[in-house]
């Protein structure tokens, strides 16, 4: 599952028309529609505010609008870029200020497609990988070595707490949970306690 790394805007000019694409992350359809509504209010003086969004855990919820452009020349091409890039949790608005020269249907499709594609390239994409936060507890005598072993294995503890013992929170890919638990038991000779916490995601940049 992929989404944009962050929100942002990018502008291009084609035959004196300005096309300003603004992208935002949206956790669900309500966030996507709220972002679009707010953007339209802020740019009510524009000739068009065309929109598209993809949300849902598998990108199963999609919607687009041509906002007065000829049917099929704006919203659908924008949506196709989001889908083709494999994105979800993403809303897009392309604000057009008409420059006096008509582009024709083909020109509009190319303009709206390029506006979204260029903005995605500008803000970046991340892959959302499912993880579970695991809390590992060891006694103080084992802590130094165990934390070193964690780093050597490629894990960066999110939080380390010192009390009667030492606890470290580690984001473990869901598919590796059992292997991680077996490894923790092995390197501590069975003296570690392991508690599974809440599922989530980590963001890995896509180049």
The CATH number of whichever domain residue 38 belongs to comes to 3.30.230.30
Q: Find the mean pLDDT for residues 146-165.
A: 92
pLDDT of amino acid 67 = 97
- pLDDT above 90 for 85: yes
pLDDT of amino acid 131 = 93
The CATH number of whichever domain residue 187 belongs to comes to 3.30.70.240
Are 118 and 146 in a shared domain? Answer: no
For residue 136, the cross-strand partners are 168, 194
**Unique residue bearing structure tokens 């060891």:** 138
Q: Is the dihedral of CA 28, 29, 32, 35 positive or negative?
A: negative
Are 179 and 117 in a shared domain? Answer: no
Residue percentage of the chain with pLDDT more than 90:
92
pLDDT of amino acid 161 = 95
Label residue 203 by pLDDT band (50, 70, 90). Answer: confident
**Unique residue bearing structure tokens 């499912």:** 130
Kind plus residue range of the DSSP H or E element containing 65: strand 61-65
| Residue of 138, 170, 165 lying closest to 153 (CA atoms) | 170
Are 110 and 144 in a shared domain? Answer: no
| Residue of 154, 158, 143, 132 lying closest to 188 (CA atoms) | 143
For 155-184, the DSSP string reads: ---SEEEESSSEEEEEEEEGGGHHHHHHHH
- pLDDT above 90 for 1: no
pLDDT digits (tens, 9 = 90+) for 42-83: 999 999 999 999 999 899 999 999 999 999 999 999 999 999
Are 176 and 199 in a shared domain? Answer: yes
The Cβ-side half-sphere exposure at 180, using a 13 Å CA radius, reads: 23
pLDDT of amino acid 114 = 98
Burial class (CB in 10 A: 0-12, 13-18, 19+), 19: buried
Q: What is the mean pLDDT of the chain?
A: 95
What CA–CA distance (Å, rounded) separates 145 from 142? 6
| Number of separate helices (H) and strands (E) present in the chain | 5, 10
CB 88 within 8 A of CB 55: yes
**Unique residue bearing structure tokens 């991340």:** 126
Domain boundary among 83, 104, 123: 123
15: phi > 0 → left, psi -120 to 50 → alpha, else beta; which? left
What CA–CA distance (Å, rounded) separates 146 from 120? 41
Domain boundary among 81, 96, 123: 123
- pLDDT above 90 for 198: no
Domain boundary among 104, 123, 142: 123
The Cβ-side half-sphere exposure at 193, using a 13 Å CA radius, reads: 8
pLDDT of amino acid 33 = 98
Structural domain including 57 reads 2-123
Are 96 and 179 in a shared domain? Answer: no
Label residue 107 by pLDDT band (50, 70, 90). Answer: very high
């Amino acid at each position: 599952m992929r989404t944009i790394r962050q929100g942002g805007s990018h502008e291009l000019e084609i035959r004196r028309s300005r096309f300003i694409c603004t992208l935002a992350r949206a956790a669900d359809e309500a966030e996507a529609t709220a972002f679009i509504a707010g953007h339209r209010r802020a740019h009510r003086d524009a000739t068009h505010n065309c929109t598209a969004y993809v949300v849902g855990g598998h990108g199963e919820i999609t919607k687009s609008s041509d906002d007065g452009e000829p049917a099929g020349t704006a919203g659908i091409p924008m949506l196709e870029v989001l889908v083709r890039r494999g994105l979800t949790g993403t809303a897009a608005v392309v604000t057009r200020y008409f420059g006096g020269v008509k582009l024709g249907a083909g020109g509009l499709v190319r303009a709206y497609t390029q506006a979204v594609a260029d903005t995605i390239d500008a803000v970046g994409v991340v892959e959302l990988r499912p993880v579970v936060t695991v809390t590992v507890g060891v006694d103080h005598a084992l802590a130094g070595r165990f934390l070193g072993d964690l780093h050597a294995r490629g894990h960066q503890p999110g939080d380390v707490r010192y009390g009667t013992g030492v606890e470290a929170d580690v984001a473990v890919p869901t598919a590796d949970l059992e292997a991680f638990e077996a490894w923790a038991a092995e390197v501590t000779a069975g003296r570690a306690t392991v508690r599974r916490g809440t599922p989530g995601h980590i963001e890995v940049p896509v180049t």
